[in-house]
């Protein structure tokens, strides 16, 4: 029963976090002058609008079952960079909005976990908040990897020299293939990166809150 509840938490938190992640992208894009996401119906809390069957559901659930760091992604929000006020700088703002949303959610779940733990709260709430922390940190850390079309590549593009931008444009069409290969072939390295970074962020949360 505990395992079923844990998987339910993973599914529910993944879905909710990814909706807010993509909504953040779309809202910042609208703020920066691009209505593409709005016109495509992506400024919505409807999960069907945002789900990528593999990255939103299958990958996180498999990772949860195998005990690895949980990460994934959603269907990218459509952006027309020609409509943005400040070109690549606006695009970088749009990109960072998603991971930043996950970071904030992770921090809120951390506060919930700390309060529940210190007050002797229910185990089900500890499980939910623990999953909320790991899922959101996992999504944030995965999405800031600078491989197109992940968010990290959009931020890097704003600062990168021309030869790096040209290279990123060339591999854009193969980005998801590279990502899937990274998960399948480089899983051990990816897990070490995720685990180490998560530990550092949790230490930061502890330092800031004193919990």
| Annotated catalytic residue, options 2, 22, 39, 206 | 22
Which residues have a Cβ under 8 Å from the Cβ of 45 and sit 6 or more positions away? 19, 23
Residues 146 and 171: their CA atoms lie apart, in Å, by 12
Clarify whether 22 is annotated catalytic: yes
Half-sphere exposure of 40 (CA within 13 A, CB side): 20
Residue 137: is it exposed, middle or buried by C-beta count within 10 angstroms (0-12/13-18/19+)? buried
Q: What is the DSSP track for 24-90? A: HHHHHHHHTT--HHHHTT-SS--GGGT--IIIIIIHHHHHHHHTPPP----PPPP--GGGSTTHHHH
By CB atoms closer than 10 A (0-12, 13-18, 19+), residue 189 is: exposed
Q: Is the Cβ–Cβ distance between 95 and 140 less than 8 Å?
A: no
Q: Which residues are catalytic?
A: 22
């Amino acid at each position: 029963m505990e395992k079923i509840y844990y998987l339910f938490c993973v599914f529910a938190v993944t879905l909710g976090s990814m909706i807010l992640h993509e909504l953040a992208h779309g809202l910042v894009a609208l703020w920066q002058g691009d209505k593409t996401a709005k016109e495509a119906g992506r400024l919505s809390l409807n999960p069907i609008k945002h789900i990528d069957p593999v990255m939103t559901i299958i990958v996180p659930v498999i990772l949860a079952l195998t005990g690895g760091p949980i990460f994934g992604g959603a269907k990218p929000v459509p952006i027309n960079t020609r409509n943005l006020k400040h070109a690549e700088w606006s695009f970088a703002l749009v990109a960072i909005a998603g991971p930043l949303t996950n970071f904030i959610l992770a921090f809120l779940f951390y506060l919930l976990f700390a309060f529940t733990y210190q007050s002797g709260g229910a185990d089900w709430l500890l499980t939910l908040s623990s999953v909320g922390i790991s899922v959101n940190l996992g999504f944030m850390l995965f999405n800031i990897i600078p491989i197109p079309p992940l968010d990290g590549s959009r931020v890097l593009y704003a600062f990168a020299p021309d030869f790096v931008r040209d290279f990123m444009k060339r591999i854009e069409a193969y980005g998801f293939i590279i990502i899937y290969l990274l998960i399948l072939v480089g899983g051990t390295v990816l897990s070490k990166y995720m685990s180490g970074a998560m530990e550092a962020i949790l230490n930061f949360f502890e330092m800031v809150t004193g919990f």
